[in-house]
Amino acid sequence: MAMPKALLALGAAVGLVLTASGCSSTPSSSASDQVTLRWAMSADSQAEVDVWKHLADMVHEKNPNITVNFESTAFQSYYDKLNTQAASNTLPCIAGLQAQRVPDVGKLFKDLKPLYEKDTSFSLSNYEESITKGLSQNGKQLAVPYDLGPYVLYYNKNMFDAAGIPAPKPGWTKEEFLAAAKALTKDGKYGYVADGTPDMWLPYVLSIGGDYLKDGKPDLTNDKAVEGFSFVTGLATKEKVAPAVPATGTANWPADQFRNGNAAMYIDGPWQLINAKKSVDFTVGLATVPAFDGKSVTTMSGTGFGVTATCDHPEEAWKAISVIIGKDAQEYIAKAGRGFPAYSDAQQLWYSAASVDGAKEAIDAALKTVNVYETAPKWNQLSALLQQYAVEAFSGSKSPRDVLSQVQQQVSQ
């Protein structure tokens, strides 16, 4: 007997494999709503990748019909890759978004409010307000944060102990910092390391009372910005307590110099603690950026996860995100030391798991005066140009003012 046309059509429909930009629906013998989602995030070590893959597994455990495939890219090229994927309509469904990148790539993300307002188990108020605001744009919540934190000073406690220098404490002064850096610079090792990345020198601009934006646009050539940048480059060219930056402008070079024991101090965020602790053979400590005339002001950052504008399965993507930034995941991230949790109730776990000298004191002190680190369009380009051209300022072949003027001119075009 011939099979009815309706049944033939139904059979053909069930056999289809639906593939969409950033996510795919995978058929199952028991269900037709199996969905596979791509999730992109920056990662600069296998330790970070392992954390994210564990969270992807957590999504599947709680939502058996959803499978999340994690894709990692080094931080330096992550946002350029997002733009390239957007141009080719190959964006993943879920992507990481740093607050400082919202002006540049915020348009690639959906507003999450319509999704989480239907989710009675979720409340945005459980997350630190400063970073939830940083991940919003024009009234739209583009991502929900998983971490935040002020940029702080990492130091090698073993090197301080060997030199007979007291470990830095919150509120330590520029003079104490310079004295320590000079005493630690010997036998081919340096007291400090930095490069032209804004995160590395903006705290010094802010601590002397300067700024880097004017009317919502980059303002790198004002006197205070030049003074702060000159102080950092001068640690290499004048004080000789920091190495010159390699001509290649290698990503994460300062962090690598610190972890390899070649430099005693550098600036980074709490999210780098997992990489530092798992890749060094010395004791890591945290302190605040040195104070200038009693004032220490640092920047802060934070990252969350959002649903991209071209995702064909936003409901499932939100379910995945709600697990990735949920209480259990935040507690796992805290215990792993991956980042200082944006979920308020998990923060104490991070301090306990971190077990790092001065961590709580440094972060608490930094948060009291922290600058929220607003950025402007083209900030990704600005950061890349600074990392590239600052090589000349750290070598002394070009003045700090000229380098900042060159970058200012290019991002203003």
Q: Are residues 272 and 327 in the same domain?
A: no
pLDDT tens-digit map of 87-103: 999 999 999 999 999 99
**Strand, helix or coil for residue 410:** helix
Buried b (16+ CB within 10 A) or exposed e, 278-304: eeeebbbbbbbbbbbeeebbbbbbbbb
Residues 105 and 79: beta-carbon distance below 8 Å: yes
pLDDT interval class at 249 (50, 70, 90): low
Q: Are residues 139 and 163 in the same domain?
A: no
Q: Are residues 175 and 111 in the same domain?
A: no
Inform me whether the pLDDT recorded for 28 exceeds 60.
no
CA distances from 115 to 59, 109, 323 (A): 17, 13, 14
The burial of 124, by beta-carbon neighbours within 10 Å (0-12 exposed, 13-18 middle, 19 or more buried), is given as middle
The CA angle 193-196-197, to the nearest 5 degrees, is: 100
Report if pTM > 0.85: no
Element (H or E) spanning 95, and its range? strand 94-98
Mean pLDDT (whole number) for 121-134: 93
Q: 186: how many CB neighbours lie within 10 A of its CB?
A: 11
Inform me whether the pLDDT recorded for 408 exceeds 80.
yes
CB-side neighbour CA atoms (13 Å) of 252: 15
Q: How many domains, in total, are found in the chain?
A: 2
- What pLDDT was estimated at residue 337? 73
Residues 325 and 112: beta-carbon distance below 8 Å: no
Q: Are residues 169 and 284 in the same domain?
A: yes
Bridge-partner residues for 284, per DSSP? Answer: 156
Mean pLDDT (whole number) for 73-82: 92
pLDDT tens-digit map of 322-332: 999 999 999 99
pLDDT tens-digit map of 361-375: 999 999 899 998 999
Inform me whether the pLDDT recorded for 127 exceeds 70.
yes
Q: Are residues 305 and 289 in the same domain?
A: no
pLDDT interval class at 405 (50, 70, 90): very high
Q: Are residues 154 and 86 in the same domain?
A: no
Inform me whether the pLDDT recorded for 24 exceeds 50.
no
User: Mean of the per-residue pLDDT values for the chain?
Assistant: 90
Q: Who has greater pLDDT, 106 or 46?
A: 106
CATH number at residue 116: 3.40.190.10
Q: Residue 330: give the domain boundaries.
A: 35-148+301-354
